[in-house]
């Protein structure tokens, strides 16, 4: 099951990064904390024997997505947010409910152990995941491809500067 | 010994932090990042249970969520860029014209 | 665990959404290659796709051979919702042309995104697996973000897109977390698996399932804009282009309800959740808040937005009635399906008139812009009057019939308080709906020349008007169809 030290190390990185995202006032520092958090998550994925997913997490999330984020932050040249936390009554209630749910969860899920004997050699490899993705989960896979198409089209038509001739 | 519940606790914490960010931060970019945290908390749960059951379904599902998050981010950042060009701010409250 | 899929069968059964999908992608290609400035061809192609898809869905509905591929299910419930989405899409396309021309947002992607978003909705209607359901929701919502923000030069449109995006993001985060716990509790995201696992549920598992269901339902409540998850949705409706608002208020709402059905069908048998009080509370809060806030709106789109919240509340009355005795009763479900159709027809008509009122540079979004319409354009005013009466729920319109069936199904199971509150709410809503009628007939308006109505707009107003009145007098066939649709639901 791996060394507990690694779990605690990665868990600390994940949670510490998340705290950074939420509480730092500069968007760039938040983005950097998010990278830490996501990379730590990739570490947890490795501990859970999801090696392929860990690689994807680093490539797509900590890589591509975060580069996009930082690129936008740089482009907009944002300053620190003053008064960056705004607490309203309604959102406070929402948060308290969510916290309660989490506590209920922690209290009630009675620690079932991992069964250590994952006999399947392909567990977590690109072969195993790929096989499943293109057989059983083919339809969701296709829907995801549609989703990405829509997102690309959308990003282009939204962010593209208009032809000035069309301006009213 | 690290158990399933340890992973679930980390995921819950991550989720709550994400929700905290979404509800309390006013900077649209940071709200997006917090949404990413929430999605990742879901992914951690998927992968932890996938290991627990010894079946890979959860990993495939987590994979879909990663793709989805990438799609959302690209559209969301495009919206932010358009908003900033037009209004010069990405603070959700400051940018709010409509009320009622 | 592999699924032996009969791909030919899937191809035939899936024709309604495959047609739209194909045409949506084709339109994206044509947009790139097309040299002319005139986009009429896009509209014609979209309408052809809608017609073909409508035919296939209708054909499948008539044939009535339920089939499940585990991830996708094909039964009458899904096909009737396909038909509802297609109707909404049809009217949206018809009212779009003139509006997007004067707003300078006429581009092929507009049509393509409408079609592809509808594909997402159909995925929700056909979902037999939570992941398909969720991805369908995301296809629909991401399409809707883009459409809401497509008027790039308008601050309100930007704001609508941003707010919708954040709302959608929160809903997505909640639902992913919920689905993950569902997977944890059952070992699968397939909805039908829950029926099999019920036999041996231990306590930690039931906590997981409870959490999963709660999170997923909250996520869906964001989609139907139920109180208290409705904040910002009026802003989104106001800021988005009017045609897109019409689409969001009708099709997306219907899609949210079909997703709720799919989830509730399964989880309703969880006896430790007090379904009836839960859904009743949600319903009362939704309709009351929606109606009370609608009272003081001066913007017609915003008013219709709050009215759509209120109508989601009425439909939830049906859901509360259906949830009695921990199994969804056919009559109440049929009433909700009927109500979704009724609401879609009426609301699309009202939005068509809002679009018809607009000119270049003046979108006539205030209720006061309707002043004097009764003298200047009697036919348009008469049509609007019919729609407002129908939204209030006064006979002889489909709005009355829809509410009648809903409340009747609630009385059948003894939810009298809920019905009384529902009726009181309808009375309150009369104030602002009929306020629009009063403005049209009894207030002097600014003198402007009404442009001649474009024939596509006239067609759509005529169609919705016909539907509102015809089915208001002869609702039997439509109601039987709705009842038939919920009779044999498979998972």
pLDDT in tens, A31-41: 999 999 999 99
* Closest residue in B to C299 (Cα–Cα): B100
**CATH assignment, A4-166:** 1.20.120.1200
Query: Quick one: pLDDT at residue A115?
Result: 55
Strand, coil or helix: C43: helix
More confident residue, C143 or C98: C143
Query: Quick one: pLDDT at residue C237?
Result: 92
Question: Over the stretch C77-93, which tens digit does the pLDDT of each residue have?
Answer: 999 999 999 999 999 99
User: Which residue is associated with the tokens 């009535």?
Assistant: C64
Confirm or reject contact between A75 and chain C (CB < 8 A): no
Whether pLDDT at C486 is above 90: no
Query: Quick one: pLDDT at residue C154?
Result: 85
Size of the A and B interface in Cβ pairs below 8 Å: 232
C314, C240, C250: which is closest to C87 by C-alpha?
C250
Whether pLDDT at A42 is above 60: yes
Question: Over the stretch B12-71, which tens digit does the pLDDT of each residue have?
Answer: 889 988 988 888 888 889 999 999 999 999 999 999 988 888 888 899 999 999 999 999
- Residue of A104, A137, A151 with shortest CB distance to C142: A151
Sequence-separated (6 or more) residues with CB below 8 Å from residue A27:
A73, A78, A81, B27, B29, B30
Whether pLDDT at C312 is above 80: yes
Q: What is the mean pLDDT of residues A20-48?
A: 91
**How far is A114 from A53, CA to CA, in rounded Å?**
19
Question: Over the stretch C162-197, which tens digit does the pLDDT of each residue have?
Answer: 999 999 999 999 999 999 988 988 888 888 777 666
Query: Quick one: pLDDT at residue C197?
Result: 62
Whether pLDDT at C452 is above 70: no
Contacting subunits of C (3+ beta carbon pairs below 8 A): A, B
* Closest residue in C to B81 (Cα–Cα): C158
Q: What is the DSSP code string of B42-99?
A: HHHHHHHHHHHHT-SHHHHHHHHHHHHHHHHHHHHHHHHHHHHHHHS--BTTTT----
Domain boundaries, chain A: 4-166
**How far is C93 from C313, CA to CA, in rounded Å?**
27
This complex has an ipTM of: 0.95
Whether pLDDT at A81 is above 80: no
More confident residue, C162 or C228: C162
Q: What is the DSSP code string of A19-84?
A: HHHHH-SSHHHHHHHHHHHHHHHHHHHHHTT-HHHHHHIIIIIIIIIHHHHHHHHHHHT--PPTT-
Q: What is the mean pLDDT of residues C368-380?
A: 84
Query: Quick one: pLDDT at residue A98?
Result: 73
pLDDT band at C444 (very low <50, low <70, confident <90, very high): confident
Query: Quick one: pLDDT at residue C361?
Result: 65
Residue B98 falls inside a structural domain: no
Residue B93 falls inside a structural domain: no
Substitution target from A90, A150, A152 for chain C, most C beta carbons within 10 A: A150
Chain A residue numbers touching B66 (CB-CB < 8 A): 53, 56-57, 60-61
Whether pLDDT at C94 is above 80: yes
Query: Quick one: pLDDT at residue C345?
Result: 95
| Helix H or strand E segment including C67 | strand C67-68
pLDDT band at A167 (very low <50, low <70, confident <90, very high): very low
Q: Which domain holds residue C345?
A: 274-491
More confident residue, C405 or C453: C405
Residue C410 has which token pair? 């609630």
Q: Chain-wide mean pLDDT for chain C?
A: 88
Residue B94 falls inside a structural domain: no
Share of residues in chain A with pLDDT > 70 (%): 77
A168 to chain B nearest CA, in Å? 16
Q: Are strands C73-74 and C67-68 parallel, antiparallel or unpaired?
A: antiparallel
* Phi, psi dihedral angles at C217 (to 5 degrees): -65, -40
Q: What is the mean pLDDT of residues C247-269?
A: 89
**How far is A127 from A130, CA to CA, in rounded Å?**
5
Sequence-separated (6 or more) residues with CB below 8 Å from residue C143:
A150, A154, C113, C114, C116, C117, C120
Share of residues in chain C with pLDDT > 70 (%): 93
A13 to chain C nearest CA, in Å? 21
C-alpha dihedral (B99, B80, A70, B42), degrees to nearest 10? 70
> Do residues A142 and C128 lie in contact, with contact meaning Cβ atoms separated by under 8 Å?
no
- Fill in the DSSP letter of residue C321: H
pLDDT band at B9 (very low <50, low <70, confident <90, very high): confident
Q: Which domain holds residue B15?
A: 4-87
> Do residues C372 and C445 lie in contact, with contact meaning Cβ atoms separated by under 8 Å?
yes
Q: Residue C160 forms beta bridges with which residues?
A: none
Query: Quick one: pLDDT at residue C141?
Result: 95
> Do residues C321 and C415 lie in contact, with contact meaning Cβ atoms separated by under 8 Å?
yes
**How far is A74 from A63, CA to CA, in rounded Å?**
16
Q: What is the mean pLDDT of residues C104-125?
A: 91
Strand, coil or helix: C187: coil
Query: Quick one: pLDDT at residue A168?
Result: 40
Query: Quick one: pLDDT at residue A120?
Result: 65
Indicate left, alpha or beta for C364 from its phi (over 0: left) and psi (-120 to 50: alpha).
left
Say how many domains are in chain C: 1
Residue C414 falls inside a structural domain: yes
Query: Quick one: pLDDT at residue C390?
Result: 94
**Do the chains contact at B56 and A68, CB–CB below 8 Å?**
no
Q: What is the mean pLDDT of residues C274-289?
A: 91
> Do residues C71 and C193 lie in contact, with contact meaning Cβ atoms separated by under 8 Å?
no
Burial class of residue C137, CB neighbours in 10 A (0-12, 13-18, 19+): buried
**How far is C363 from C329, CA to CA, in rounded Å?**
44
Query: Quick one: pLDDT at residue B75?
Result: 93
Residue C220 falls inside a structural domain: no
Q: What is the DSSP code string of C73-85?
A: EE-HHHHHHHHHH
Regarding pTM above 0.80, the answer is: yes
Question: Over the stretch C147-167, which tens digit does the pLDDT of each residue have?
Answer: 999 988 888 888 999 999 999
CATH at residue B43:
1.10.287.3510
Question: Over the stretch C329-351, which tens digit does the pLDDT of each residue have?
Answer: 788 899 999 999 999 999 999 99
Whether pLDDT at A24 is above 50: yes
C248, C233, C235: which is closest to C92 by C-alpha?
C248
Residue C363 falls inside a structural domain: yes
Query: Quick one: pLDDT at residue B79?
Result: 92
- Residue of C72, C109, C135 with shortest CB distance to A153: C109
Say how many domains are in chain B: 1
> Do residues B59 and B51 lie in contact, with contact meaning Cβ atoms separated by under 8 Å?
no
Strand, coil or helix: A2: coil
Chain B residue numbers touching A138 (CB-CB < 8 A): none
**How far is C265 from C409, CA to CA, in rounded Å?**
18
Count the neighbouring beta carbons within 10 Å of the beta carbon of residue C83.
21
Share of residues in chain C with pLDDT > 90 (%): 54
Cα angle C131, C134, C136 (rounded to 5 degrees) comes to: 105
Substitution target from B22, B26, B49 for chain C, most C beta carbons within 10 A: B49
Contacting subunits of B (3+ beta carbon pairs below 8 A): A, C
């Amino acid at each position: 099951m791996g060394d507990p030290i690694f779990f605690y190390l990665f868990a600390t990185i994940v949670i510490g990064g998340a705290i950074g995202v939420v509480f730092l006032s500069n968007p760039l520092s938040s983005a950097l904390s998010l990278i830490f958090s996501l990379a730590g998550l990739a570490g947890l994925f490795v501990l859970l024997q999801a090696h392929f997913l860990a690689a994807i997490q680093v490539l797509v999330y900590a890589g591509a997505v975060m580069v996009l984020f930082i690129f936008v932050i740089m482009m907009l040249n944002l300053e620190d947010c003053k008064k960056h936390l705004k607490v309203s009554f309604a959102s406070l209630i929402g948060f308290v409910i969510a916290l309660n749910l989490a506590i209920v969860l922690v209290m009630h899920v009675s620690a079932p152990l991992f069964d250590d004997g994952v006999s399947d050699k392909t567990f977590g490899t690109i072969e195993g995941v790929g096989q499943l993705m293109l057989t059983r989960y083919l339809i969701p896979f296709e829907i995801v491809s549609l989703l990405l198409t829509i997102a690309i089209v959308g990003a282009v038509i939204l962010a593209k500067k208009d032809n000035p001739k069309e301006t009213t | 010994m690290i158990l399933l519940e340890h992973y679930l606790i980390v995921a819950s914490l991550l989720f709550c932090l994400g929700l905290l960010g979404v509800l309390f931060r006013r900077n649209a970019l940071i709200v997006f990042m917090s949404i990413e945290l929430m999605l990742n908390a879901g992914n951690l749960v998927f992968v932890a249970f996938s290991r627990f059951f010894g079946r890979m379904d959860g990993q495939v599902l987590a994979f879909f969520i990663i793709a989805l998050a990438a799609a959302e981010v690209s559209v969301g950042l495009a919206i932010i860029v358009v908003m900033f060009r037009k209004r010069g701010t990405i603070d959700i409250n400051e940018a709010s014209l409509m009320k009622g | 665990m592999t699924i032996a899929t009969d791909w030919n069968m899937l191809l035939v059964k899936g024709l309604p959404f495959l047609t739209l999908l194909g045409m949506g992608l084709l339109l994206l290609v044509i947009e790139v290659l097309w040299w002319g400035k005139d986009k009429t061809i896009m509209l014609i192609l979209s309408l052809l796709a809608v017609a073909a898809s409508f035919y296939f869905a209708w054909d499948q509905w008539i044939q009535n051979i339920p089939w499940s591929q585990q991830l996708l299910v094909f039964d009458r419930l899904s096909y009737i919702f396909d038909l509802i989405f297609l109707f909404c899409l049809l009217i949206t396309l018809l009212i779009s042309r003139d509006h997007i021309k004067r707003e300078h947002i006429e581009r092929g992607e507009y049509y393509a995104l409408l079609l592809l978003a509808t594909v997402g909705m159909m995925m929700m209607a056909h979902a037999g697996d939570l992941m398909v359901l969720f991805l369908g929701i995301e296809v629909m919502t991401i399409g809707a973000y883009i459409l809401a923000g497509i008027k790039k030069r308008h601050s309100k449109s930007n704001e609508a897109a941003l707010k919708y995006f954040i709302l959608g993001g929160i809903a997505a985060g909640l639902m992913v977390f919920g689905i993950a716990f569902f997977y944890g509790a059952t070992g699968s995201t397939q909805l039908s698996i829950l029926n099999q696992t019920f036999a041996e549920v231990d306590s930690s598992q039931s906590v997981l399932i409870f959490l999963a269901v709660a999170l997923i339902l909250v996520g869906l409540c964001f989609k139907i804009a139920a109180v208290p998850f409705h904040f910002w949705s009026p802003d989104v409706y106001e800021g988005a282009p009017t045609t897109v608002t019409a689409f969001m208020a009708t099709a997306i709402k219907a899609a949210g309800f079909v997703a709720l059905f799919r989830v509730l069908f399964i989880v309703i048998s969880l006896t430790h959740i007090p379904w009836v009080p839960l859904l009743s509370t949600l319903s009362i809060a939704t309709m009351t808040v929606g109606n009370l806030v609608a009272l003081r709106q001066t913007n017609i789109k915003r008013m219709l937005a709050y009215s759509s919240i209120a109508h989601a509340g009425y439909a939830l009355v049906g859901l509360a009635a259906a949830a009695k005795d921990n199994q969804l009763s056919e009559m109440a479900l049929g009433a909700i399906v009927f109500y979704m159709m009724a609401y879609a027809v009426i609301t699309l008509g009202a939005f068509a008139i809002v679009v018809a009122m607009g000119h270049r540079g003046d979108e006539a979004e205030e209720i006061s812009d309707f002043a004097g319409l009764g003298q200047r354009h009697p036919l348009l005013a008469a049509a609007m009057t019919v729609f407002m009466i129908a939204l209030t729920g006064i006979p002889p319109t489909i709005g009355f019939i829809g509410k009648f069936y809903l409340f009747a199904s609630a009385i059948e199971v003894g939810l009298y308080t809920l019905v009384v509150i529902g009726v009181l709410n309808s009375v309150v809503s009369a104030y602002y709906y009929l306020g629009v009628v009063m403005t049209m007939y009894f207030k002097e308006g600014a003198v402007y020349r009404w442009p001649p109505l474009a024939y596509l707009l006239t067609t759509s107003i005529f169609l919705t008007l016909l539907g509102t009145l015809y089915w208001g007098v002869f609702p039997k066939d439509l109601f039987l169809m709705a009842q038939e649709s919920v009779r044999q639901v498979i998972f």
